């Protein structure tokens, strides 16, 4: 199996990596133009999902190819607001998902990683 890396980052990670028919998207955070987007979890979730979609596009995938996501929230009380925005990006047949609460290293409310399946 060949591993193909897509994109680059200022930190030691690849935004997207294809391994066979699977594409792995590194955890995306609410950053635009190199700066953290200010706002509550709803605003930050929208930006994160846009970043997930952009990382998928690097590997010729789209959100409909996502089969699993892993979500980290900094506050469990943000779950409902997060979920409302997240649902708009997966209106039909949403992927499997795990959501956890944890402190993140930067001042953000949400981080999302994804796994897509798209045969080559």
CATH number at residue 23: 3.30.1330.40
| Least confident among 1-5, 34-38, 95-99 | 1-5
Does pTM top 0.85 for this prediction? yes
Domain region containing 111: 3-117
Give yes or no for residue 105 having a pLDDT over 90.
Answer: no
Q: Kindly state the DSSP code that residue 119 receives in the 8-state scheme.
A: -
Domains held by the chain: number: 1
Express each pLDDT in 7-26 by its tens digit: 888 888 899 999 999 999 99
Single out the residue of 113, 105, 97, 104 nearest to residue 27, CA to CA: 113
Q: What is the pLDDT of residues 35-90, one digit of tens each?
A: 999 999 999 999 999 999 999 999 999 999 999 999 999 999 999 999 999 999 99
């Amino acid at each position: 199996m060949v591993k193909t890396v897509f994109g680059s980052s200022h930190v030691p990670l690849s935004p997207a990596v294809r391994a066979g028919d699977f594409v792995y998207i590194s955890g995306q955070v609410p950053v635009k133009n190199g700066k953290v987007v200010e706002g509550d979890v709803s605003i930050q979730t929208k930006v994160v999902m846009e970043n997930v979609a952009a990382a998928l596009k690097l590997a010729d995938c789209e959100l409909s190819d996502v089969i699993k996501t892993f979500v980290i929230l900094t506050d469990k009380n943000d779950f409902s607001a997060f979920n409302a925005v997240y649902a708009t990006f997966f209106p039909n047949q949403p992927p499997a998902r795990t959501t956890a609460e944890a402190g993140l290293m930067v001042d953000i409310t949400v981080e999302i990683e994804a796994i897509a399946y798209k045969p080559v």
